């Protein structure tokens, strides 16, 4: 079933990509939280190379138990006291939602002499239950964070509300793309808007049509989760 799911997902990604830009490339992050190392290894053997985890402890356990050249991403809310466990170990941290967390990532990266790529999480919809900078806060945050020497801002991330009609998420994704375009016009020397991480299993096609080039999908690959596992 996972093979069929993945083939269907790739076709849907291709179709949505072509609506935005012919042959646009989209990175698929398989959200592997709660799934076993064996399941991840089976997914890797299908051609999935990038996996995202929401919990630091679960991520580290899987990184240590799986002997494959996986590109690991951290996509969940990151607590300050957990930063030291993942700095320099993941390809990308999607969920930098405060200046304080950015400073801690920078400090930990400096301690091990590396640079950590990050995305700034933007709470476009201003949901109280979601983390992230509001759009009006983002330039103040960038002004602070760009002074840090061991992290690289390489894009933005957002999570759309869980709308019954996925079309309602379109303005959320469009707003993030517009924000990224605006940031590009400001001439920051060490800020890159390479990645727009937006869209999950229920709305990834809409996100791609609005400019996403990273999607975070779990159930679209692994199958439906139980109720307690629904959020990706």
Distance from the first to the final alpha carbon of the chain: 20
Q: Which run of H or E residues covers position 221?
A: helix 219-222
Q: Which of 60, 52, 50 lies closest to 26, judged by CA?
A: 50
pTM of the model: 0.93
CA 110/CA 84 separation, integer angstroms: 11
Question: pLDDT 10s digit of each residue in the chain, 232 long?
Answer: 899 999 999 999 999 999 888 768 999 999 999 999 999 999 999 999 999 999 999 999 999 999 999 999 999 999 999 999 999 999 999 999 999 999 999 999 999 999 999 999 999 999 888 999 999 999 999 999 999 999 999 999 999 998 989 999 999 999 999 999 999 999 888 899 999 999 999 999 999 999 999 999 999 999 876 544 444 4
CA 108/CA 132 separation, integer angstroms: 21
């Amino acid at each position: 079933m996972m093979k069929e799911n993945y083939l269907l997902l790739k076709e849907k990604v291709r179709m949505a990509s072509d609506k935005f830009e012919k042959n646009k490339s989209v990175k698929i992050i398989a959200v592997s939280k709660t799934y076993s190392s064996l399941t991840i290894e089976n997914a890797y053997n299908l051609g999935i190379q990038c996996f995202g985890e929401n919990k630091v402890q679960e991520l580290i356990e899987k990184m240590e138990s799986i002997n494959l050249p996986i590109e690991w991403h951290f996509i969940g809310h990151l607590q300050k006291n957990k930063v030291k466990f993942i700095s320099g170990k993941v390809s990308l941290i999607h969920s930098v939602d405060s200046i304080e967390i950015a400073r801690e990532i920078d400090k930990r990266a400096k301690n091990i002499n590396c640079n950590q790529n990050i995305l700034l999480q933007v709470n476009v919809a201003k949901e109280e239950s979601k983390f992230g900078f509001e759009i009006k806060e983002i330039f103040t945050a960038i002004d602070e964070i760009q002074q840090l020497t061991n992290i690289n801002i390489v894009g933005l991330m957002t999570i759309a509300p869980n709308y019954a009609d996925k079309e309602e998420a379109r303005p959320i994704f469009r707003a993030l793309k517009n924000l990224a375009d605006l940031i590009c016009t400001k001439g920051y020397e060490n800020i890159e808007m390479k990645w727009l991480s937006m869209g999950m299993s229920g709305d990834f096609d809409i996100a791609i049509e609005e400019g996403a080039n990273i999607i975070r999908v779990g159930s679209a690959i692994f199958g439906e989760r139980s109720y307690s596992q629904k959020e990706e």
